[in-house]
Structure 1
Amino acid sequence: MDILKVLLSLFLPFLFVYAKNDCSESYCAKNKFPIRFPFYLENQQPQNCGYPGFNLKCNSHGYTVLNLPFSGEFLVQTIRYSNPEIKLLDADNCLARRLMNLNLSSSPFEPYVIVNYTIISCPSEYPLTFRSHVVDCLSNDTTDLLAFYDGSDYEKYMPGCNVTARNFSIASDDLKYSDMFGLSLTWSVPNCTACEAKYELCGFDNYSTSKEIRCFARPKSGSSEGQPIAKVIALSVAIPAITLLLLLIFGISLRIYCNKRREASS
């Protein structure tokens, strides 16, 4: 039992160091932007490294992805922390279709912009005057789908077409070119803008029981917090293992010594 206590006292500090380093900035192989609080990499970092709902993943191709509960998985193009924004793309290059069914409930995000559209459906053989409004990935060989800002009355110039939706709120100010500009979402909780303004990191206060957010100084260049996690893991395993080996050698040596003394006295 005493040996176990000694081992734990030696091992726990290294576990703490590992956990601390494990919350440092992370990256997916194909993306250059850093992943840090409130975001964290699911299955690679502990949940306390990020805020609930901000879990990201690296997909099999090395790209960062975000899964929205009722809208599915999106590629992450970039993340801004000082002015909170995450920009998303569709892996199939038809973000417009995803935007028309976007549901952000049960997620911590909200649209950066909301624009109301009128959606008009026209037969593909119809001589369109407003072809620049055709959303290509929503159209097919028989039907063209056009998107106009609400308040326009273009449909009266297209008698052979049908209005399929009016006052249709979409989180994009340019539905036709949404694949180029992406879907911009923002968040208000947690609010880390004050930390970012001071060039500090944001995270949970380890000493608070109510999961309060606080600012932390960035690790200095060359400090132990910037070392690779693999090195920390190696140390956390190697040092207790060496300690255990030394204790075993000491125990065996002590037993041999005691046996020799017992034999000599008899």
Structure 2
Amino acid sequence: MDLAEGTILIVVGFLAGLLGGLIGTGGCSVMLPIIHFWMGYPATIAVGTTLFAVIFTALSGGYGHLLRRNVDVRAFLRLGGGGIAGVLLGSWLFTLLSSQAKLLGLILGLIFLWPAFRMIYEGVVQRTMPKREGSVIQGSGWRMAVFGCIVGIATGIAGVGGGYALVPGLIYLFGAPVYITMGTSLATMIPLAAVGGVIKLIQGFVDLPTGLLLAAGTIVGAQVGAAIIKRFKPATLKLIFGVYFLYVSIKFVTAFFGIQIW
């Protein structure tokens, strides 16, 4: 790895962390396709490495939101508990898929459809999320645990941190206030990414130098995002990244059928 590549990785990590701090995601959906498609990392290594980097994104962003009291601790504990169980199951399924690179790519492509359509919808149709006040996320503990488990399974399989599902789920299924959702989402990703990232590191699916450089960028980016979230309306940003994620999804899916697009 030369200086230029290392610098690119730090910049990619910063942008991913900034997005994560603003809209409550870990940034995997930004980092994974870049290092896979444009930097040539195998899908399995890209999945493991970006999930490892998200450990630091979530720690940095979650801590920033915690200081600003944007985290519902009760919801975090229930979502995190269910999420850990899901990550363990998803990581086991990932080992079964690791030798099926094309199938893994198809699964990644289908998973990327959700954040793509969600962001495009919110960026074009809705423009702003529902405005709800308060500092508590309503809902029973078992519902949160089940929801966290489902997100954890996807995290273990695809390596995405879970924010792409946690944010809309908490807002639309549990009626959560927006800023509390962002902070609680990032906090919940700490145990999910930690368990999933460490498992993939042990399994040999993490390029450690790459993961650490991405993490260095995400730590700074996540703090910046958490600091400016209440002064920023991310509708336009969501639209841009929604279109980008849709492109990434199509690229993964077409590759499964042997069709390469730029």
Q: What interval of TM-score do these two structures reach, taking the shorter chain for normalisation?
A: under 0.3
Kindly indicate which of the two structures has a greater share of residues assigned to helix: 2
The structure that has the greater radius of gyration is 1
Higher relative CO (CA 8 A, sep ≥ 6), structure 1 or 2?
A: 2
Give the TM-score taking structure 1 as reference length: 0.22
Give the TM-score taking structure 2 as reference length: 0.22
Kindly indicate which of the two structures has a greater share of residues assigned to strand: 1
